[in-house]
A and B are shown apart, each in its own frame.
Chain A
Amino acid sequence: MTHDLGFWTLQTLNALQLSMLLFLLSIGLTVIFGLMHFVNLAHGALYALGAYFAATIASTAGFWVALLVAPLGVAVVGMALYGGLISRMRKSGPMAQVLVTFGLIFVLLDLSRIFWGDLALAINTPAALSGRVDIMGTGYPAYRLFIIALGVAIFAALALILSRTQIGAMIRAGVDNDAMAACMGINVERLFFIVFCVGCALAGLAGAVAAPLLSVTPGMGLEILIPTLIVIVIGGLGSLKGAIAGSLIYGFVQTFGAVLLPGVASILIYALLAAVLLLKPVGLFPAKG
């Protein structure tokens, strides 16, 4: 099978699709880490929430409305979390933050059980993307290509905003040195809030696009949390480059590991994580060099 071009095409696309999903999740988390020094373990739970919002909205208003509204809904939940909890815990140190946001995972998990029940929800792929596209002789689901394209588009948009705009320069300055940024008249707290909400919206978007691929279950947020954390540890904290590099590495190692080395696939990514931590503990492309 490894001599077949179709096999490589298919697995590469699978790896890319997984990478892009992880990218949407990890970019928000890593910039929140880098800018606010805040450890938000509930990020995965917001992804699950995005999937639930999407499933609910899609059943009445259709997929495309869900894809737009679910991230906004998650951003609103993020605003409430920020105002109620996170802004008060900014200075309380990583241990307290980890404990509180870890607790938040279970609160959100149980809330979604109460509202949506224990059974998995399904959501159909939209009609326009339900077919297959022929790529170099291999038929590939159009919806998965859509996820890849969406990830690339979001990456390009964020890269452009971070490198070319004034708010991008403010975010980079804030990640470099938040105290000095404040001394230059930058409202760092407001910047944190905006970044946090955008990060939440992207987590919600990841949940919404993942919903038609996976079944929507209360535990999906916990399942994605570990891969997301691995991505940002490998990639390095706070940087867009780190998030995309970490996502691609995870996506390819995981996908190709599973088909080429099924015996060791489950430990491969952890071995890689250990190697990165030993050789370059700050990750491959950290924001602070």
Chain B
Amino acid sequence: MLDVTGLNAGYGETQVLYGLSVSAKPGRVLAILGRNGAGKSTTLKTIMGLLPAQAGEIRFDGKAISGAKPYDIARAGIAYVPETRDIFPSLTVRENLELAARRFPCADGGWTMERVLDLFPRLGERMENGGMELSGGEQQMLAIARALLMNPRLLILDEPTEGLAPIIVKLIHDKLQELRNDGLPMIIVEQNFGFATSLADDVVIVSKGQIVWTGSAAEIRADEDAQHRWLGV
């Protein structure tokens, strides 16, 4: 459903991606793995239109979205949970959620305020708190809840476990597993190998701005050579 072909991108003069190609399929979870600085986050930012694509093509459901603005990409149905979570500090938890809920009215069976608060009851207790009064784990829950309220057709998560306590990592894992069982397509960039491979259907490994390994989650778990070579696991 998302097809990236021959993508070149980077920050200003510094090129990070060199002809990267990757596909996310409907109803499946894709994990993008790789060492620090390999180009994982850059790939996500370029998909979201936050960085310009210098060459190559990005198609979402067959429609070219390379060169589109983040606003258009969000409207097209891709929700993004950035590495830094980017909760709006001037807004309360409720306002952070409403910002998404009001803009993306849900069809039957879609995500409503009630449903995301069922998923993350912790947020329900903190509705009137400011965005910056939350713990790291609560911020991550809010970032995911906010993305779900956009009723996306594809959810993109950048390092969802970074800096979180093991018990919260487990909770985030279980919630993402629920979403996966519901058939929500996801792309997850992750350093936590166990977390990523237990959620993912498909796995790619990025190194120096290119895909160097493609396969299933079971295959990468079995391929110790690739793990050692590309991930240093």
Contact = CB atoms under 8 A, between A and B. Distances in A.
B115 interface: no
Interface stretch (A101-109, A118-126, A164-172, A264-272): A164-172
A289 B103 contact: no
Contact of A176 (B70, B82, B90): B90
Given A184-B100, A186-B99, A186-B103, A172 B75 contact: no
Contact of B71 (A173, A187, A287): A187
22 contacts: A166-B98, A166-B99, A170-B99, A172-B90, A172-B91, A172-B95, A173-B99, A176-B89, A176-B90, A176-B91, A179-B86, A180-B82, A180-B88, A182-B69, A182-B71, A183-B73, A185-B103, A186-B99, A186-B103, A189-B69, A189-B71, A287-B90
Nearest to A185: B74
B88 A166 contact: no
Interface string B100-141: 101110000000000000000000000000001000000000
Contacts of A172: 88, 90-91, 95
A180 B90 CA distance: 13
Interface residues of B, number: 25
A201 interface: no
* Interface footprint category on A: 20 to 34
Interface in B69-88: 69-71, 73-75, 80, 82, 86, 88
A176 B75 CA distance: 21
B48 interface: yes
Interface of A: 166, 169-170, 172-173, 175-177, 179-189, 287-289
A177 B71 contact: no
Given A172-B91, A173-B90, A179 B102 contact: no
Nearest to B92: A169
A169 B100 CA distance: 11
Contacts of B95: 169, 172
Q: Which of B80, B90, B102, B146 has the most CB of A within 10 A?
A: B90
B89 to A, nearest CB: 6
Contacts, number: 65
Given A172-B90, A173-B90, A175-B90, 18 more contacts: A169-B98, A169-B99, A170-B99, A173-B99, A179-B86, A180-B82, A181-B88, A182-B70, A183-B48, A183-B50, A184-B99, A184-B100, A184-B103, A184-B150, A185-B71, A185-B74, A186-B103, A189-B71
B90 A184 contact: no
A25 to B, nearest CB: 23
A21 to B, nearest CB: 27
Nearest to A172: B90
A117 B171 CA distance: 72
Contacts of B82: 180, 183
Q: Which of A176, A287, A289 has the most CB of B within 10 A?
A: A176
A259 B143 CA distance: 54
Q: Closest 4 A-B residue pairs measured CB to CB?
A: A182-B70, A185-B74, A180-B86, A172-B90
A180 B48 CA distance: 10
Contacts of B80: 183
A184 B146 contact: yes
A177 B131 CA distance: 13
B103 A176 contact: no
Contact of B88 (A177, A182, A187, A289): A177
B90 A166 contact: no
